[in-house]
């Protein structure tokens, strides 16, 4: 197992506020449930400040949750280069309210030398899909210092 | 002029933290610069907590800024029904750092009886495009009480 | 089983050129392999005229294949209204050459009263993903005469 | 002016069937109206075989028209490397019928060393938007032999 994935595994059960290297990840404050090569699962709690004027989870924060864990998942593969998001396409299927627990999963479909392609999804505790996304990331020239 | 648009115009120069009906809009805390029928411009300041592990604006927050003002723009048209986001497709073109000012603009391309189609973009003060999006919204059965 | 799905099942093994109600579907000329409630599989043969200047399957035709069978799949659900595409987001993962056989699958994720959400994917015979898409369709006011 | 752009300019008024290096481009058979650095305009005639079961322009062919001219536009910039489509996101706004003339335009928003970002749109003769798209392309390792 690569050392980055090993480090992620040691963080299972910990909250984003404690361990996330992403400032927004600390604000989103998910709890890492599971991590494997190319897939990661986190649980998030919807807070009022994450909501839109209708009082339901803001589409931008749903996107943030998926984008954040996809970045973590790509990073957990242990590659030496940094991948940067090129685009993200998100579909909103159902609403979520404050105090709901959401299960957010990522899946790396392809990790090419130039382009990585990944999917994300958010489900509520009843298993209903709240949102899903696909995204492409480009390998940058920046190496990662660990 | 419809009364909702008139209300928005009275908020020019005010911050999201003061006047936004969107809890996330208060957190994003943009300042309304301009609003017209079908288009709205806000200025946002990038804060550290809005960033990803690379220390630059998180794609999810860039998305949130655009999605939030597009919702405001559709609302400002004064229709009696609530429009809900169906999908959003965002492209990330350039990075933004903490303390940068961003100019975020919306444009409603079509407001149909069933589907509205809109665009958003974020530029930095030098005019460079940071991100752009397109989104479709569906007219729901929920009427808006004002 | 609804009569439309039953009709589709009677067309398994037949070619688009023979039975497709879609003029483009006749040109694409896929062969129906399988159809179930909310999912359909067709096989297509890449022809030279379907290719781009690089001599590989044109992204627009990959999109056409997925869009066409998603339309068929929504129709096969037997609803009385016609669904029209609102948007489609496609990712291109691998190339395909003339004379390759492609397996194209659809999956209806949600069929709401207003919006349907579906996915499509194209794989080659080795099982490698060539392209995938997500799409939203809106229920129109047009009823279907059968 | 780079020689590729010069060549394109010499093809203004000619049809795709005559001059397109794209097999699908010959089938789509547009007429080149205008070409500049980073933008290109073609006119297409909707034919019955380009339509869906509803008798209107198939979304996949609308996508093909935009994707094809975006590829031409990137190529016309005269770069030595081949750009390959990573993703394409298309929105369908209005229908088009057989025998309608469509004006299709491309616009290269950014041409980076790794990623190019472009937009396309289709309008009818009355100026109404039929479809629009955004797309990202990746610079491949393949050099172009001219």
Q: What is the pLDDT of residue C143?
A: 73
Q: To which H or E segment does residue D70 belong? A: helix D59-76
- Picking from A89, A117, A129, the nearest residue to C109 by CB comes out as A129
Q: What is the pLDDT of residue D28?
A: 98
Yes or no, beta carbons of D114 and A138 under 8 Å apart: yes
Residue C8 is encoded by which pair of tokens?
A: 């589709």
Q: How confident is residue A122, by pLDDT bands cut at 50, 70 and 90?
A: very high
Chain C contact present for B113, CB below 8 A = no
Rounded to an integer, what distance in angstroms lies between the CA atom of residue A101 and that of residue A78? 29
Q: What is the mean pLDDT of chain C?
A: 95
SS3 state at C137: strand
Q: To which H or E segment does residue D2 belong? A: none
Q: What is the pLDDT of residue A112?
A: 92
Phi-psi category of residue B29: left, alpha or beta, with phi > 0 → left and psi -120 to 50 → alpha: left
Question: Chains touching chain D at 3 or more Cβ pairs under 8 angstroms?
Answer: A, B, C
- Picking from D91, D110, D132, the nearest residue to B93 by CB comes out as D110
Least Cα separation, residue C90 to chain D (angstroms): 5
**Record: fold of C3-139:** Thiol Ester Dehydrase; Chain A (3.10.129)
Average pLDDT of the segment spanning A107-123: 96
Yes or no, beta carbons of A24 and B50 under 8 Å apart: yes
Q: What percent of chain A has pLDDT over 70?
A: 98
Least Cα separation, residue C117 to chain A (angstroms): 8
Q: What is the pLDDT of residue D81?
A: 87
Q: How confident is residue A142, by pLDDT bands cut at 50, 70 and 90?
A: confident
Q: What is the pLDDT of residue C145?
A: 58
- Chain B residues touching residue D93 (CB < 8 angstroms): 109-110, 117
pLDDT tens digit sequence for A21-43: 999 999 999 999 999 999 999 99
CA angle D17, D19, D20 (to 5 degrees): 75
Yes or no, beta carbons of A91 and C132 under 8 Å apart: no
Least Cα separation, residue C1 to chain D (angstroms): 23
Torsions phi, psi for B8 (to 5 deg): -60, -45
Residue of D nearest to C64 (CA): D60
Chain D contact present for A89, CB below 8 A = yes
- Chain D residues touching residue C64 (CB < 8 angstroms): 58-61, 63-64
Chain A contact present for B63, CB below 8 A = yes
SS3 state at C30: coil
Rounded to an integer, what distance in angstroms lies between the CA atom of residue D106 and that of residue B52? 33
- Chain B residues touching residue D129 (CB < 8 angstroms): 109-110
Q: What is the pLDDT of residue D144?
A: 64
pLDDT tens digit sequence for C69-124: 999 999 999 988 889 999 999 999 999 999 999 999 999 999 999 999 999 999 99
- Chain A residues touching residue C132 (CB < 8 angstroms): 109, 134
Residue D102 is encoded by which pair of tokens?
A: 């469509």
Interface A-C, measured as beta-carbon pairs within 8 A, has a size of: 24
Q: Which residue has the higher pLDDT, A104 or B78?
A: A104
- Chain A residues touching residue D87 (CB < 8 angstroms): 86-87, 89, 134, 136
Chain C contact present for D7, CB below 8 A = no
Q: Does A146 score more than 80 pLDDT?
A: no
Rounded to an integer, what distance in angstroms lies between the CA atom of residue A40 and that of residue A33? 8
Yes or no, beta carbons of D129 and B136 under 8 Å apart: no
Chain B contact present for D144, CB below 8 A = no
Task: Report ipTM (2 d.p.).
Answer: 0.96
Nearest C-alpha neighbor of D136 from the set D124, D123, D122, D119: D119
The number of beta carbons lying within 10 Å of the beta carbon of residue D45 is: 15
Yes or no, beta carbons of D109 and B117 under 8 Å apart: no
Residue of B nearest to D116 (CA): B93
Yes or no, beta carbons of A129 and C110 under 8 Å apart: yes
Q: What is the pLDDT of residue B143?
A: 73
SS3 state at D28: helix
Yes or no, beta carbons of B117 and D93 under 8 Å apart: yes
Q: What is the pLDDT of residue A36?
A: 96
- Chain B residues touching residue A53 (CB < 8 angstroms): 20-22, 25, 71, 75
Q: What is the pLDDT of residue B144?
A: 64
Q: What is the pLDDT of residue C144?
A: 64
Distances (CA, A) of B35 to B8, B46, B109, C31: 7, 22, 15, 53
Rounded to an integer, what distance in angstroms lies between the CA atom of residue D107 and that of residue D70? 8
Chain B contact present for C89, CB below 8 A = yes
Distances (CA, A) of A68 to A41, A47, A120, D28: 11, 17, 10, 41
pLDDT by residue for chain B (146 residues), tens only, comes to: 799 999 999 999 999 999 999 999 999 999 999 999 999 999 999 999 999 999 999 999 999 999 999 999 999 999 888 899 999 999 999 999 999 999 999 999 999 999 999 999 999 999 999 999 999 999 998 776 55
Name the residue ranges covered by the structural domains of chain B: 3-139
Average pLDDT of the segment spanning A49-56: 96
Chain C contact present for B115, CB below 8 A = yes
Is there a contact between D55 and D49 (Cβ–Cβ < 8 Å)? no
Q: What is the pLDDT of residue A28?
A: 98
Chain B contact present for D110, CB below 8 A = yes
SS3 state at A80: coil
Residue with tokens 């998305």: B63
- Chain A residues touching residue B99 (CB < 8 angstroms): none
Least Cα separation, residue B89 to chain D (angstroms): 7
Q: Does C146 score more than 60 pLDDT?
A: no
Nearest C-alpha neighbor of B138 from the set B74, B73, B50: B74
Yes or no, beta carbons of C134 and A89 under 8 Å apart: yes
Q: What is the pLDDT of residue C141?
A: 81
- Chain C residues touching residue D51 (CB < 8 angstroms): 22-24
Residue C98 is encoded by which pair of tokens?
A: 């003339």
- Chain D residues touching residue B109 (CB < 8 angstroms): 93, 129, 132
pLDDT beneath 50, residues of chain D:
none
- The DSSP result for D88-109, as a single string, is EEEEE-S---TT-EEEEEEEEE
């Amino acid at each position: 197992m690569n050392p980055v994935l090993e480090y992620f595994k040691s963080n299972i059960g910990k909250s984003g506020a404690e361990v996330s290297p992403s400032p927004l990840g600390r604000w989103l404050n998910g709890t890492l449930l599971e991590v494997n090569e190319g897939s990661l699962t986190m649980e998030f709690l919807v807070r009022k400040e994450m909501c839109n004027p209708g009082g339901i989870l803001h589409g931008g924060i749903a996107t943030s949750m998926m984008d954040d864990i996809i970045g973590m998942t790509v990073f957990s593969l242990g590659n030496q280069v940094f991948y940067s998001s090129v685009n993200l396409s998100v579909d909103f299927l159902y609403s979520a309210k404050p105090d709901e627990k959401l299960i957010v999963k990522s899946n790396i479909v392809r990790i090419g030398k130039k382009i990585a392609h990944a999917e994300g999804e958010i489900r509520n505790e009843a298993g209903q899909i709240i949102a899903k996304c696909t995204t492409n990331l480009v390998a940058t020239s920046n190496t990662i210092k660990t």
